Structures are given as C-alpha cells and as structure tokens.
Amino acid sequence: MHLHTADGVRLDLTEQGPADGRPVVLLAGFKAAATSWRFQVPALAGAGYRVLAVDLPGHGATEPMAPGATMRRRARDVGSVLEQLDLRDATLVGGSMGGNTVWAYVDEHGTDRLRSVVIVDQTPKMLNTADWPYGYYGYDESNHDTYFAEGPPPTGHGRSVWLRGMRTVRLLRAMSGGSRTITDPELEILADHAQADWRPVIARCDVPALFVAGAESELWPSGHAAAAARLAPRGTAAVIAKDGHAANIEQPAAFNRGLLEFLAG
C-alpha cells in the first residue's frame, strides 16, 4: 500500500490481520525496513490486531530522505498514516529511532488517536549528562557536535554478533537488503535524533507506555528502560535477557509474549 503526504512524499506500508482489529503501527529504526518486524507481524495478526508496518522515506523500497530531514518531519509522516487511514485507539511500536519517532509524533500531534505506545531499545536522550547516564556509549558534551558525523560509531559494548548463534541468524534474515551507504539527509536526521531530549514529552504522555531494553544492547545501558518508565505517568519497563539492540529480532518469542501481554492489558 502507498500513501502520499500533503506535500507529495510517498509512504509505503503493509497491512495484515483483520480490518476491524485494533491497530498496531510498527516503525523501524535508522535505515531498517518495515520487514525488520517480520517476527512480530504474524503473532500480532494472529492475535486479532490490524498490523501496519510502515516504511517512512529512507526505509525499505520507499523514496530516499530529502534534504532537511528531521524527527519532526518523521512525526508528520506518521501523522499522515494515522489520519489518512483514520486510525484510532492505535498502539505505536517503535524500534530504535522509530521509538523516538513515536515521541516526536506525541509531541506534534498528542495522543487523541493512541491507546498506548511501545518503545523498543531506544533511550529518550542519547547524550550522556550528569542527570542522564543512559545515553549512547561514548557520546557526551566533549563530542556533542561530531560523534555521529559519519554515522553511528561502534561502541565495543554488547556481545559480539558472531557469538550470538541463532540470534545472529534471525538478525541477518530480518535486516537483509537495503543500502549500507548513509546519505547526507540520513546524517542530518541522525544528528537531529542524537541531539534531541524527549524526556519532557514522556512526562506528559497520558497513555500507557512500555519501554523494552535488550540486556546486552550494543548502544546504551539497559537501565534506560526503567529510567524512562519512571518519567511516564503510566510507564512500565522490561529487559529481555540475552538480547541486543535489535530486541524484537534477536529474542522474538520473549518480545512477542511481553508485547501481547501489554496490548491485552
């Protein structure tokens, strides 16, 4: 399915599950395609949810990101999906950058169309500061403007991808395809993403919010989930053992159990 925003940007999405099911909208992370939710879509559709996996510009087979890409632009694109399909009582599920795209949407559009949100291994503030030690490993005030100049740098944290067994197999299956080249607009949005602080948005979010962390995340301490949940009026947190940053892919069975339990609550 294709949708177009008011200014002509094409958005791609796939839909599965009953048309009258409660909507669950899946938003992938930086450069990841909607197919990265391949282990969640059948479980959600089988449980009776209307599942929409969205490719925003720069993801999957949709059009490239345009210059000037920002998180707020992504929020408006998500808003176009919810409004054009008239989705209500929806749950937004965002992985990695998709998680903070959820907060950008809430900040821009509020929660009138939402039932709940799920954030998958994404800290709401990537910069490490005295009051927030749950940011991207190695990213602090000393390198605030340069750390992501060429893309996400390796951190040396987490279990080596070559030592994860079937977790690696699932990761390769879900993340196959797509270009590894990072375009200038993608670097722009990465910088915008890295410098944002969504904690105030979380603090005023009036719908249930589930924060999921991988215990072995390569990008940040898993404590970000509990810390973010404490900010939210209706927040809960879960840490998945033996799981990395791609928490929904590496341990899909554990992730799906927790997600379905949260949705049924």
Q: How far is Cα 186 from Cα 31, in angstroms, rounded to an integer?
A: 8
Give me the pLDDT at residue 65, please.
Answer: 84
21-30, 152-161, 186-195, 214-223: the lowest-pLDDT one? 152-161
Domain positions in the chain are 2-264
pLDDT for 58 equals: 84
Please say if the pLDDT value at position 173 is more than 80.
no
Q: Tokens 């992938």 — which residue?
A: 28
- pTM for the predicted model, two decimal places: 0.93
User: Tell me, what's the pLDDT at 176?
Assistant: 63
Cα 92 to Cα 39, 66, 140, 178, distances in angstroms: 17, 24, 29, 24
CA distances from 137 to 95, 163, 170 (A): 18, 21, 25
Residue ranges in 19-116 assigned as alpha helix (H): 41-46, 71-84, 97-109
Determine the Cα–Cα distance for residues 87 and 195; give it in Å rounded to an integer: 30
| Total count of residues recorded for the chain | 265
Pick the more confident residue, 58 or 142.
Answer: 142
For a pLDDT cut of 90, what percent of the chain falls above it?
Answer: 81
Residues 37-86 pLDDT 10s: 999 999 999 999 999 999 998 888 888 888 998 999 999 999 999 999 99
Nearest to 93 by CA among 249, 250, 248: 248
Q: What does the pLDDT average to over 125-145? A: 97
pLDDT in tens, 88-106: 999 999 999 999 999 999 9
Looking at residue 151, what DSSP letter applies? Answer: B
| pLDDT band, very low/low/confident/very high, at 246 (cuts 50, 70, 90) | very high
Whether the per-residue pLDDT at 29 is higher than 60: the answer is: yes
For residue 219, the 8-state DSSP code is: S
Phi (first) and psi of residue 164, to 5 degrees: -100, 0
Axis crossing angle, helix 184-195 with helix 71-84, rounded to the nearest 10: 100
Contact 246, 39 (CB under 8 A): no
Which of 149, 130, 127, 124 lies closest to 138, judged by CA?
127
Q: Given pLDDT bands bounded at 50, 70 and 90, which one contains residue 187? A: very high
Cα–Cα dist 161/171, whole Å = 9
pLDDT at 25: 98
What class, spelled out in words, does domain 2-264 have in CATH?
alpha beta
What average pLDDT score do residues 173-190 get?
Answer: 80
Residues in CB range of 44: below 8 A, 6 or more apart? 16, 17, 24, 51, 256, 259, 260, 263
